[in-house]
Structure 1
């Protein structure tokens, strides 16, 4: 009978959902942002506003007079023209920053990877002991670690100078490791790598634990050696962890400050060892040229962003390749 037939619901006109459904969908989409609002507000106050303030200062001739009066003296791109036109940037500061960061990132990854592989092979007791020891190096403040390395390479009473003097290789009173540009950055590299490799080692060790045992066992049965197993199984499997530690190492090592500034001559007495971070600080707080210092900081940030973007895009292309 016609009365027993089910009544079909009419679709809304124009194929649109009812207004109540649209409101519910909008509420669901807005709910995560409402939950994130407190954290985003804190980030905006603590990070984005100072960053915006630095960018604004980089377009001004800002010194002690402007601090006292609160006036703004916008000069456009003059600060950037002066910096980019200064040969000191291209011959000294930029090479120091790029090559030092590159060496630190590379050595930190190599040492951290080797330590992670060592932890994987150790027994439980020795693994706990070694993990505790290397984490002590990571927990040491950068200031404390820098002074330890300064003491080790002290020209007169340092461990290295005394040992080489005992072997008759150097004359301590005529050898200063901190005046030469190369030896200065060699010590700084040891300092940064010593402080940074524990994070890489523990992170990669955690990633190594996710590799199924069947993969290396099958590779051994197929006759693959340790080097082949590492490159064909270990590296592809934990590539995301490698990407994370590499990006973080790039960010940390490009903005190294304390390890350079606290070493003898690093605070500006020896201009041959300045990097972008220390140069920005000296221009701002030693010479009271806050506009110039802010422009240097912006250039450092842009350089860091460019390197990070290139690295991430290279990883993405490599991942998309068959």
Structure 2
């Protein structure tokens, strides 16, 4: 019996030690899992202050009737969903602002990705010297501030002294004094599209060129030996191989182009003088700072954010489904 009791106590001590080792292992695992968050804590704190709190404030203002009086008194005047009802019930949103925003952004995204892809393929085929020259030139377009680039395009299409008007006047195609490219909705956004694509395609080109360098040479060479033409090699080899990079540049371009502001606001009529050319970003700014209706402007900004989230999430899910099918 004493021997059995001693064995039982030894088993209990062994079980206790095993439990202690298991608890120590769990504590160590929790510490290891916590270390990255401790390292990220300062950066996350800064982001919370600079990004999260302003977002919370905008959402809060969107549920209020907030103007100069509320700024002076500091009081809150919550009106629930009244701002959203007024915006969504306004035909101006559905007939002018939303079509301007969506059609303009889609056109810019498609053209930016297409032009950037073509330039990336060109860089891949150029020699070292010309590749450096072309890369430097396109990076200058990317480095140019949006404000500066917008004023350059305004000068190019100036009705009286612009390069385009002068050239078309020289061949008798237009009468400059009777032609203003900025008053018509379609020509206004055509110029804005040129501006945005010119400023955005270098990022796409450089990013895709870097992705093209990761494709093994054996793949296109084998396809060429099998008789595949250039289009087949691009569509069957290049695109599937760098599809994640295409997804990234498309999503980023979508976010940037849906919230374009300076390129619209700075053009003649874009600051509100011509309501036909307003998009969601400029409309939100005008409601807030020109009409001092900060609650209404915040509600428009929230709707723009929700639209961007819906488009981005939908695009990512579509890519995930397509990837699962491959």
Which category of TM-score, normalised to the shorter sequence, fits these structures? over 0.9
Matched, 1:32 2:70: no
Q: 1:100 to 1:20 in 2, by over 3 A?
A: same
Question: Which residue of structure 2 lines up, in the alignment, with residue 49 of structure 1?
Answer: 53
Match of 2:303 in 1: 299
Quote the Cα distance in structure 1 between the aligned partners of 2:143 and 2:39: 33
How big is the shift at 1:10?
A: 3.7
What's the CA shift string for 1:125-183, capped at 9, x where partnerless? Answer: 00000000000000000000000000000000000000000000000000000000000
Map of 2:202 onto structure 1: 198
Using the TM superposition, give the Cα deviation of residue 304 of structure 1 relative to its aligned residue in structure 2, in angstroms. 0.3
Alpha-carbon offset, residue 271 of structure 1: 0.1
TM-score (norm. length: structure 1) = 0.96
Q: 1:84 aligns with which of 72, 88, 91?
A: 88
Q: How many residues are aligned here? A: 316
TM superposition shift of 1:29: 1.3
C-alpha distance in structure 1 between counterparts of 2:145 and 2:129, whole Å = 27
**Normalised TM-score (structure 2):** 0.95
Is 1:217 matched up with 2:217? no
Which deviations, in whole Å up to 9, do the C-alpha atoms of 1:16-44 show, x marking residues without a partner? 85332222221111111111100000000
Q: Does 1:245 align with 2:253?
A: no
Paired position in structure 2 for 1:279 = 283
How far, CA to CA, are the matches of 1:109 and 1:20 in structure 2?
Answer: 53
Q: Deviations over 1:242-291 (max 9, x none)?
A: 01100000000000000000000000000000000000000000000000
Task: Give the Å deviation of 1:11.
Answer: 4.7
Specify every segment of 5 or more residues in structure 1 that has no aligned partner in the other structure, as ranges: 1-6
Give the corresponding residue for 2:3. Answer: none
Displacement of 1:13 in angstroms is 8.8
Provide the C-alpha distance between the structure 2 equivalents of 1:33 and 1:148, rounded to a whole number of angstroms.
46
Aligned to 1:4: none
Residues 113-122 or 28-37, more deviating? 28-37
Structure 1 residues 295 and 11: alpha-carbon distance in aligned structure 2, compared to 1, 3 A threshold: same
